Amino acid sequence: MSPAFAQLDAGGRLRHFLTLDGLPRSLLESLLERAFSFASRPGRAATRGEALRGSTVVNLFAEPSTRTRASFELAAVRLGGDVLNFDNALSSRVKGETLLDTVHTLLAMQADYFVIRDAEAGVQELVAREVDSEAAVVSAGEAHLSHPTQGLLDAMTIREHKGDVGQLTIAIVGDIARSRVARSAHLALRTLDAREIRIVAPRAMMPEAAEFAGARRLESLDDGIAGADVVMMLRIQHERTGAAGPVDLAAYHREFGLTAARLKHAAPNAIVMHPGPMNRGVEIDSDVADGPQSVIRRQVANGVAVRMAVLQHLAEARRTRVG
């Protein structure tokens, strides 16, 4: 994400939501506060709002994602918005101007929000520059680089269960190099002044030295989670095999799978997180995923709340600028 493109307006509100990079702490806090106001309780009716009444939200997902797409769709619908879904709408068009023709077509049809997931870096910013003030772009995942609403929901879930992030040691574990979840969590938690962020990965999955500024790097799971208040496991994306060839899943589990025994190295009441979908028996065992320290399902619930918060903020900011 080029910092050249300002996602903030003159009043410090979001014009688009493309990255957590450079987001002021006060804005991040304000988004979390909104999200808590939308948070739902199990068995209770979903929280709703009216911020998107009369607005049109277009979901442009070039990568399949039942989970994230459903989360954004529900967030939009529960704020009264109309939703159009275009799965793979950009994938065949992602070269140059044709993508922008699709965007301008939807813009001419009065699309107000573009929620975009793409495997290619820069697509969200390209679209944001193009639609400028006519519509708002929200990233739903950009290559291996960024997944800002996931970063927010992770921060929200940590605060919900463990309070002040400034007092916490948080271990992010797994294929860090290729994880947009890890990058956005790192940015959110650094903005909230986490006491200590650790990235824990086998050497082959460690990111470049310049990345994850300020984080401690550990190549052993036991050391990595020792005394941690939060253990954030990542999904092994074994469908994406890199230059190093396919991942040996059994070997990975032996070295980096979170078992109940290993979890004992973390702080006694540490919480366990995972962005889903899980590979049970690979990066995480079922008794941990479903155990008392797991907050994985709560992450999903908070995901809808965070997306409602972002969309509501964008709607209010647009109204303020116009009005």
List residues near its own copies by CB under 8 A.
40, 42-43, 45-46, 48, 54-56, 66-67, 70-71, 73-74, 77-78, 82, 84, 86, 89, 97-98, 101-102, 104-110, 133-134, 276-278, 280, 286, 297-301, 303-304, 322
Q: Which of 41, 203 has the CB closer to its own copies?
A: 41
Q: Least separation, in Å, of the C-beta of 80 and its own copies?
A: 11
Q: How far apart are CB 160 and its own copies at their closest, in Å? A: 13
The answer to whether 176 and 145 are in contact (CB under 8 A) is no
Which of 13/216 has CB closer to its own copies? 13
CB of 156 closer than 8 Å to CB of 302: yes
Nearer to its own copies, 241 or 286 (CB): 286
| Nearer to its own copies (CB atom), residue 83 or residue 123 | 83
Q: How far is CA 165 from CA 140, 174, 190, 323, in A?
A: 24, 21, 9, 37
Angle, vertex CA 56, rays to CA 105 and CA 152, nearest 5: 110
* Smallest gap from residue 105 Cβ to its own copies (A): 5
Instruction: Please list the alpha-helical segments (H only) found in the chain.
Output: 25-38, 66-78, 97-108, 123-131, 148-162, 180-191, 221-225, 249-256, 260-263, 286-289, 296-322
- What is d(CA 125, CA 142) in angstroms, rounded to the nearest whole number? 10
Select 84 or 145, whichever has its Cβ closest to its own copies: 84
- Distance in Å, CB of 79 to its own copies, minimum: 11
Find the helix or strand (DSSP H, E) in which 169 lies.
Answer: strand 169-173
CB 151 → its own copies: shortest distance, Å? 18
Of 74 and 226, the one with the shorter C-beta distance to its own copies is: 74
How far is it, in rounded angstroms, from Cα 216 to Cα 22?
21
* Minimum CB distance to its own copies, residue 158 (Å): 17
What is the spatial distance between Cα 251 and Cα 269, in angstroms, rounded to a whole number?
A: 28
